[in-house]
Amino acid sequence: MRILIVNTSEKTGGAAVAANRLMDALNNNGEKARMLVRDKQTDSITVIGLPQGWRQQWHFLWERLCIFVRMGFSRKHLFEVDIANAGTDITRTKEFREADVVHLHWINQGMLSLKGIRRIMESGKPVVWTMHDLWPATAICHYARGCRRYTDHCDHCPLLPRGGSRHDLSAAVWRRKASMLRSGNIFFVACSRWLEGEAKKSALLKGHIITSIPNAIDTRLFRPIDRKEARRKAGLPEQGRIILFVSQRVTDERKGIAYLIEAVDRLVEQHPELKADTHIAILGGHAEEVADKLALPVHALGYVSDEPTIVAVYNAADVFVTPSLEDNLPNTIMEAMACGVPCVGFRVGGIPEMIDHQKNGYVAELRNSDDLAAGLAYVLTEADGDELKHRALRKVVQNYSQTSVALRYVEVYQHAAAQKNLNI
């Protein structure tokens, strides 16, 4: 089976990482998968980049300009919404013509337009769309932030100036999406059971098949290694405890850094003995902007793309913390667990599906800094570390291994193809 995976970026962002890992999982299990991207960043022969030129840049800039105008020339939520009014027609590419199945992932910011997606649906090829956030189920937002309008009809969008209106940008895009989706069936796959449940509430996706399959991870790469060796490689202290926080942009409000700052304050107040030998490692951009706000010494590692170095950073940690306020199925939790590191996070999105409370980590109540501190204390001072590690590794093997995820996707492809009466 020839599968064409479509994503905006080859490497940047969680969806790109997940799409790459799925491609590897499929190829390692006997399928023929390739990836088509706008932003090609490596020399991988299985990843094809769209022809570079002014058109690609123009698609991105035109969409941002249209949003900027409708935002009243405010940058506040400029990159929190997408309207897919410009993009490349990939149905003209050789890779598309050769594919048996077209598998969309994160295709925003000028990669595909709604018109382009319609053309894909009308091509006659089976189409699968993995949802890495809520955008396919809403008009313009990737994360609803408590808004439930997408369960009926998007308008009065809270991300627009003055809360939008009945005929605002979200209402217009909703109508265009609804029209697009009437042109054929897409098999939607959510990365978590939580997102599957939210997508099924969307009036936009009514009548479409929606299921959930978690992201895959290569346990040959993400695996436990000697902690002292890992710390030397990562440039972290060889002695003491290390709390790890990872985010592409540390200051992103949705990633919850404010709650981590409060939780560390509580942790130090309640366990003053930890202050002498506990450090915080932050992997991601803008860490220096928050370093002096944390009550423990901070090691700002910056943005790292080299996977062996990332593996070393995970293995250097005693606990991984993710204070996200809204998330799907974070790759970071999966990566930490695959390295045998217990995780602490809020009860939100798909996080409780990954962290089994007080078995391989700790699930804190949402936006509760005290409970987040209690989770850190539980892992660092109370729980059996070896048992937490063992259960984390077992969870990854049973749920997120390449083979198990690849086989589940092959079933979806076959189902989608059967609906199109194709013989693959």
The answer to whether residues 245 and 260 touch, using CB atoms and an 8 Å cutoff, is yes
pLDDT per position as a tens digit, 90-102: 999 999 999 999 9
**Measured at the alpha carbon of residue 187, what is the angle toward residues 184 and 193, in degrees to the nearest 5?**
145
Residue 359's pLDDT is what?
97
Task: Mark the ranges of the chain whose per-residue pLDDT is less than 50.
Answer: 422-424
Q: Using CB atoms within 10 Å of the CB of residue 285, give its burial: 0 to 12 exposed, 13 to 18 middle, 19+ buried.
A: middle
Residue 256's pLDDT is what?
96
> Burial letters for 242-255: b for 16+ Cβ neighbours within 10 Å, e otherwise?
bbbbbbeebeeeeb
Residue 421's pLDDT is what?
63
d(CA 243, CA 105): 32
How far is residue 348 from each of residues 12, 86, 176, 345, 396, measured CA to CA in Å? 24, 33, 30, 8, 20
Name the pTM for this structure: 0.89
Q: Which of 311, 355, 308, 366 has its CA nearest to residue 333?
A: 355
d(CA 179, CA 124): 17
pLDDT per position as a tens digit, 231-288: 999 999 999 999 999 998 999 999 999 999 999 999 999 999 999 999 999 999 998 9
Residue 248's pLDDT is what?
87
Q: What is the 3-state secondary structure (H, E, C) of the chain?
A: CEEEEEEEECCCCHHHHHHHHHHHHHHHCCCEEEEEEEECCCCCCCEEECCCCHHHHHHHHHHHHHHHHHCCCCCCCCCCECCCCCCCCHHHCHHHHHCCEEEECCCCCCCCCHHHHHHHHCCCCCEEEEECCCHHHCCCECCCCCCCHHHCCCCCCCCCHHHCCCCCHHHHHHHHHHHHHCCCCCEEEECCHHHHHHHHCCHHHCCCCEEECCCCECCCCCCCCCHHHHHHHHCCCCCCEEEEEEEEECCCHHHCHHHHHHHHHHHHHHCHHHHHCEEEEEEEECHHHCHHHCCCCEEEEECCCCHHHHHHHHHHCCEEEECCCCCCCCHHHHHHHHCCCCEEEECCCCHHHHCCECCCEEEECCCCHHHHHHHHHHHHHHCCHHHHHHHHHHHHHHHCEHHHHHHHHHHHHHHHHHHCCCCC
